Amino acid sequence: MAASLLMSETLAVDGSVLIVGGGLAALRCAQGLRDQGFIGSITMVGDEPHLPYDRPPLSKQVATGKWPVEKTNLVDEERRAALRVDFVLGTRAVHLDPDRREVTFDDGSKRVADRVVIATGATPRRLATGADVVAHYVRTYENGLQLASSLSGPPKRVVVIGAGFIGAEVASSARSLGHEVTVLETLAVPLSTVLGEQLGSRCAALHERNGTTLLTGVTIESIEAGDDGTTLVALLDGTTHVADVLVIGIGVVPNTDWLNESGIELDNGVVVDGALFATDTVMAIGDVARFAWTRLGATSLTRIEHWQVAADHGQFAATGLLRGRAFSPAIQLLPYFWSDQYGLKLQMLGRPELTDEVNIVLEEEDGKLLALFRRGEALSAVFAISKPKQLMGYRQLLLDGCLYDEALKLLNA
């Protein structure tokens, strides 16, 4: 009885928080705690040897050599001092005991805190390759450095497996450097599972318009080392593509292995409630969290791998930690992502998967467009290619829950 009362108490303002994972969501949570007057101890333990840094530039400015990778750092000395976070780097969590709020690390150490926040993100899904094959995956600081190094110098044959957002961005970066780029995609229409076929085909056209060869509906048979440092990507249709540089971008899996024995519910991520709590004292945020989310009348478990969502989760979790599970409302969130490809900015607000119909309501010859997604009578999402002002015009309407017909009227106003 006493224990359960204790558990449901709110976090004391001078209590302790252990954040596992050293990425964007973790950082925003720590910042949120300090902004809201938390004076207790915050320890952030991450397995990378770096302070938190920003991942989106890795496939864009870092890949093209426009930015040194150091420019992605999110914490300078001044910020570090203001945060008063005990950063523990290069240390991997291997087990969580949620009842004791105790995390065990790969160096054998254990840490206990009043609250534990899981922010361990996600890792690229791997493809089996033959020995000696160098395949680039783009997730970490080191990945960004290695990709930039491989893409520097004279024109090369770059093969990208996967035409999702990361693959498309790498293809665009490589083309901007003058490389010969081939993208291999399993789906008949890239991004159709996210955007639908109509918009997916518009994204496919961006590759073709910019001199990237896009092959869709392909199945990879094998990836083996060729001569002179090349890689041979063989397809089921009998063709083989020779790569000087091979990049694989076929999605990510949440980093939950370390929680397998914890008793915390795992199902394609850490399952948390609408306020991001897994238990009264353990929260999960960012790419690793699968959270209960109610929008447009439907509650679903959702895991979203976007920068803005990770940042919002971090901020929101800080409030949740201080209020306690019993007093925390469900997260109010308008998912947003962007992707930079071939000099254009692709942006999405809302939930495209909750959709009955997609309509391109504005389109220009250079690929710029605006599309509205309808779910029943409601506007469920808005997608734009280089129409940022028009897209953001729908932000408040989406938050307020707007009728699709009202959204159309705004367009003609």
One-letter amino acid at 310 equals A
C-beta of 73: minimal distance to ligand FAD in Å? 13
The answer to whether 385 contacts ligand FAD (rule: CB under 6 A) is: no
Q: Is 171 in the site for ligand FAD (CB under 6 A)?
A: no
DSSP 8-state class, residue 53: B
Among 30, 31, 55, 87, binds ligand FAD (CB under 6 A): 55
Residue 46 binds ligand FAD (CB under 6 A): yes
26 binds ligand FAD (CB under 6 A): yes
Q: Cβ–Cβ contacts within 10 Å for residue 334, how many? A: 17
Given a contact cutoff of 8 angstroms between Cβ atoms, the answer to whether 63 and 148 are in contact is: yes
Is 166 a binding residue for ligand FAD by CB under 6 A? The answer is yes
For residue 375 the two structure tokens come to 């779910």
Q: Is 337 in the site for ligand FAD (CB under 6 A)?
A: yes
Tokens 């899904």 correspond to 125
Sign, Cα dihedral of 58, 61, 64, 65: negative
Q: Does 135 bind ligand FAD (CB under 6 A)?
A: no
Helix (H, G, I), strand (E, B) or coil at 242: strand
Task: Confirm or reject binding of residue 258 to ligand FAD (CB under 6 A).
Answer: yes
- Which residue carries 């439907």 as its tokens? 298
- Residue 379 to residue 361: CA distance in whole angstroms: 13
Distance CA 177, CA 64 (A): 7
Angle value at C-alpha 311, between 305 and 314, nearest 5 degrees: 110
Query: According to the binding rule CB under 6 A, does residue 121 interact with ligand FAD?
Result: yes
Any idea what the Cα angle at residue 137 is, between residues 200 and 270, rounded to 5°?
Answer: 80
d(CA 90, CA 66): 28
Among 32, 286, 352, 367, binds ligand FAD (CB under 6 A): 286
Candidate list 11, 17, 51, 59; residue touching ligand FAD; CB under 6 A: 59
Does the footprint of ligand FAD cover residue 25 (CB under 6 A)? yes
Closest listed residue to residue 319, CA positions, set 32, 70, 5, 3 = 32
Site for ligand FAD in 184-223 (CB under 6 A): none
132 burial class (0-12, 13-18, 19+ CB within 10 angstroms)? exposed
Taking the complex as a whole, the smallest distance from the CB of residue 99 to ligand FAD amounts, in Å, to 19
Written as six digits, the tokens of 311 are: 């940042």
Among the listed residues 305, 318, 319, 380, the single contact to ligand FAD using CB under 6 A: 305
Distance in Å, CB of 403 to ligand FAD, minimum: 27
Does residue 92 interact with ligand FAD by CB under 6 A? Answer: yes
Question: Would you count residue 342 as binding ligand FAD (CB under 6 A)?
Answer: no
Cα distance between residue 233 and residue 252, in whole Å: 21
The only residue of 29, 44, 51, 58 in contact with ligand FAD, by rule CB under 6 A: 58
The piece of 113-121, 222-230, 376-384, 397-405 that touches ligand FAD (CB under 6 A) is: 113-121
Backbone φ and ψ of 350, nearest 5°: 105, -165
Nearer to ligand FAD, 51 or 371 (CB): 51
- Size of the residue set binding ligand FAD (CB under 6 A): 36
Q: Which residues pair with 102 in a beta bridge?
A: 97, 112
Q: Which of 44, 47, 129, 156 binds ligand FAD (CB under 6 A)?
A: 47
Tell me which of 15, 23, 254, 352 binds ligand FAD, using CB under 6 A.
Answer: 23
Nearer to ligand FAD, 116 or 358 (CB): 116
Using rule CB under 6 A, residue 56 touches ligand FAD: yes
Q: Cβ of residue 238: shortest distance to ligand FAD, in angstroms? A: 32
In the complex, least distance from residue 119 CB atom to ligand FAD, rounded to whole angstroms: 5
Q: How far is the CB of 358 from ligand FAD (least distance, A)?
A: 20
- Quick check: 168 and 203 in contact, CB under 8 A? yes
Q: How many CB atoms lie within 10 A of CB 8?
A: 12
Q: Could you list the residues that contact ligand FAD (CB under 6 A)?
A: 20-26, 45-48, 55-56, 58-59, 92-93, 119-122, 138-139, 166, 255, 258, 286-287, 305-308, 310, 337-339
